[in-house]
Structure 1
């Protein structure tokens, strides 16, 4: 019997996934969680074989959950479900130790099949996402530019970003200007959206 944890912040989605897996004779849903932090705690308490986690959850996102479980419970294979997977998300999921990456719009029987595959030690990546990842451009921003841009999300003042990054305000301005130029946009808000939409943040 494959013991499964379901983690999604939408109760309706969790209930639908549990109902979808219910008829599978070799799969048992042993626990559910409504946010990323709870997913890690519940996984440590119930020790599932496979955790199916939503990419976007409060407290910890699916990638952070994957990374924590890879360290704290390496016997648990993680499958990430996403409504809008990006190639960079796939790369980060694999780097975090994830075993499966499946769009939420996949056919009904696909999830059970992926659970069986990752439990057997294989990896599964949605073919269309894998193809997109092979042709996706690399992130043009440096790690420091990404760090500064991530902090600029809510129009955070330069002085605040400078204090948090231990940089001067002028250096922060230069990093943001470089990010704007490299991404071919005109404002830091547009740069943030472009980097987020490409999965670089």
Structure 2
């Protein structure tokens, strides 16, 4: 029996996934959480062997939760199930140690099959997203540029960003300028938009 944990911040989606997958004779939904920072504890206490993780959740996102699961509960494999089928998310999820990545409009039978394959130690990736990810390539942003752009999402001043990322204002300006060039954005806000759309943030 596959012991499944479902993590999604939308109660309706969480309940629907639990109801659909709970109909499978070999899958038992043993835990449901609405926050990314509750995933590890829920996996530990429930003995879950597979965790279905949404990407955008409060606390920490699903990719960070997959990283924590890999280090703290290695017996529980992560399968990302998200509305946001962005190639950059796929690359980040695989680097984080997720065993699979599918989008939420995947038919129920295919989702159940993905859970089984991940449970068996296989990797499962949405084929259209995999092709798009290969065509687009990896994020061109350095780790520092990514940090600075992420801090710029809230629209703060250069000084605000510098405090957040613990860099000088001049260094922040340099990283922002480089990130704007690499994303092809017209300005800081446009660079953030492009990076988010491609799943680099």
Query: How well do the aligned residues superpose, as a CA RMSD in angstroms?
Result: 1.3
Residue 129 of structure 1 pairs with residue 129 of structure 2: yes
Q: Which residue of 1 aligns with 2:8?
A: 8
> For residues 49 and 94 of structure 2, what CA distance do their matches in structure 1 show?
18
Residue 86 of structure 1 pairs with residue 91 of structure 2: no
> For residues 12 and 30 of structure 1, what CA distance do their matches in structure 2 show?
17
- Compared CA separation, residues 166 and 58, structure 1 to 2 (3 A): closer
Unmatched 5+ stretches in structure 2:
none
Residue 35 of structure 1 pairs with residue 3 of structure 2: no
Superposed CA deviations along residues 3-33 of structure 1, whole A, max 9, x for unmatched, are: 1111111111111111111221111111110
Shift of 1:162: 2.1
Q: Which residue of 1 aligns with 2:109?
A: 109
Q: How does 1:1-201 map to 2 (within 5 A)?
A: 1-201=1-201
Quick check: 120-129 or 35-44, which moved more?
35-44
> For residues 136 and 51 of structure 1, what CA distance do their matches in structure 2 show?
28
Shift of 1:164: 3.3
> For residues 166 and 21 of structure 1, what CA distance do their matches in structure 2 show?
45
> For residues 119 and 25 of structure 1, what CA distance do their matches in structure 2 show?
15
Superposed CA deviations along residues 50-82 of structure 1, whole A, max 9, x for unmatched, are: 111111111111101100000111111111101
3-state secondary structure, aligned to 2:15: helix
The answer to whether the 8 A contact 1:67-1:96 is kept is yes
The answer to whether the 8 A contact 1:3-1:30 is kept is yes
> For residues 108 and 32 of structure 2, what CA distance do their matches in structure 1 show?
19
> For residues 73 and 138 of structure 1, what CA distance do their matches in structure 2 show?
28
* TM-score, scaled to structure 2: 0.95
The answer to whether the 8 A contact 2:53-2:79 is kept is yes
The answer to whether the 8 A contact 2:162-2:172 is kept is yes
The answer to whether the 8 A contact 1:47-1:73 is kept is no
